[in-house]
Amino acid sequence: MPQMRHDNDGEKIKSMVKRMLRKVCFFKALTPKEINQILSIAALKRYKPGELIFMKEDIGKQFFIVKCGRIKIFTAIGTQKKKTFAYLQKGDFFGEMSLLGGKIRSASAQAMEDTELLVISKKNFKALVLQTPDFTLKLLYTLANRLNNCDKEIESMLFHNILGRLADAIIDLTKDKHVKHVKMHLDQNELAEYMGTTRVPVCRAVNTLKRSGVIEYKRGELTVLNMDKLRAISGNAVPPPLHLPVHTHSK
């Protein structure tokens, strides 16, 4: 009976998703009841690499949780200038800002690889915020974290030279990976967009870090060889203070 097979498939998918969700840190704090609550109001959507999920300034109607894959959150001015705010992966969420007040999307979202998202409507998202304290706490924690990252990035843009900014960007992109030699696939255009600059100065800074043995960069694969040195470059890239003559009032 086709209908029964369909229901069984639905149940199988649900229990598979539940098992997956329990392993994801976003859901670890939630009870099985709360996970069930989220699943009962979420739809599963698949996206191909390069596919846009929404554009900046669209009206926000849905909230998204990444089940698997990779999402880029970015803004663009014209065709030349792009700034990547974040790469999101399994267990991350996005699309909450416009639902909580802004109404329109603050940035665009695009799938970078085959991606599956749990999609929750605005109405259900609001109900979830009101009825699930752990979910709401996690939301606030993530928003505070994102604000903190923005502050750090403003600081880096204002006070660090290009080498320091590159070191900051690499540390930021690898911060979830607590291993000695961090490897990631990232071409230099992506790196430049993440830093909000153009490819040429990034290319020069990458070569400087390569020459000093801090990173290896081959065919779009960046490997951090010396994290301590990278941290030191990031912290010490502040221009030295100007020693201006001090004018004292003579008595």
User: Which residues in 97-126 contact ligand CMP (CB under 6 A)?
Assistant: 97-98, 102, 105-107, 109
Measured from the CB atom, the residue of 107 and 215 that comes closer to ligand CMP is: 107
To ligand CMP, the closest distance from the beta carbon of 68 in angstroms equals: 18
Pairwise CA distance, residues 208 & 230, whole Å? 12
Among 18, 122, 126, 146, binds ligand CMP (CB under 6 A): 146
96 belongs to the binding site for ligand CMP (CB under 6 A)? yes
CA distances from 97 to 38, 94, 104, 131 (A): 19, 8, 8, 19
In whole angstroms, the minimum distance from the beta carbon of 211 to ligand CMP comes to 32
Check if the beta carbon of residue 193 is closer than 8 Å to that of residue 74: yes
- In the stretch 45-64, what mask flags binding to ligand CMP with x, by CB under 6 A? ---------------x----
Q: Residue 143's closest CA among 106, 197, 191?
A: 106
- Rank residues 94 and 194 by Cβ distance to ligand CMP and give the closer one: 94
95 binds ligand CMP (CB under 6 A): yes
- Residue 143 C-beta: closest distance to ligand CMP, Å: 9
Q: Cα–Cα–Cα angle for 123, 30, 122, nearest 5°?
A: 10
Least separation in angstroms between CB 157 and ligand CMP: 13
CA–chain centroid gap for 99, Å, is 19
Q: Minimal distance in Å, beta carbon 95 to ligand CMP?
A: 4
H/E run at residue 97: helix 96-97
Smaller CB separation from ligand CMP, 106 or 226: 106
Answer whether 74's CB lies under 8 Å from 110's CB. yes
CB-wise, 37 or 84, nearer to ligand CMP?
84
In the list 26, 27, 94, 194, the residue contacting ligand CMP (rule: CB under 6 A) is 94
Rg (CA), the chain: 22
Cβ proximity to ligand CMP: between 132 and 233 the closer is 132
Beta-bridge partner residues of 77: 81
Please give the full DSSP string across 32-50, using - where no structure is assigned.
HHHHHHHHHHEEEEEE-TT
Q: Closest CB to ligand CMP among 74 and 233?
A: 74
For ligand CMP, which residue of 66, 86, 111, 233 counts as binding (CB under 6 A)?
86
Which range in 41-49, 94-102, 187-195, 222-230 contacts ligand CMP by CB under 6 A? Answer: 94-102
From 86, 237, 230, select the one nearest 171 (Cα to Cα).
230
Q: Is 109 helix (H, G, I), strand (E, B) or coil?
A: strand
Distances (CA, A) of 134 to 20, 26, 69, 117, 128: 19, 10, 25, 21, 10
Binding residues (CB under 6 A) for ligand CMP: these are 60, 73, 85-86, 94-98, 102, 105-107, 109, 146, 150
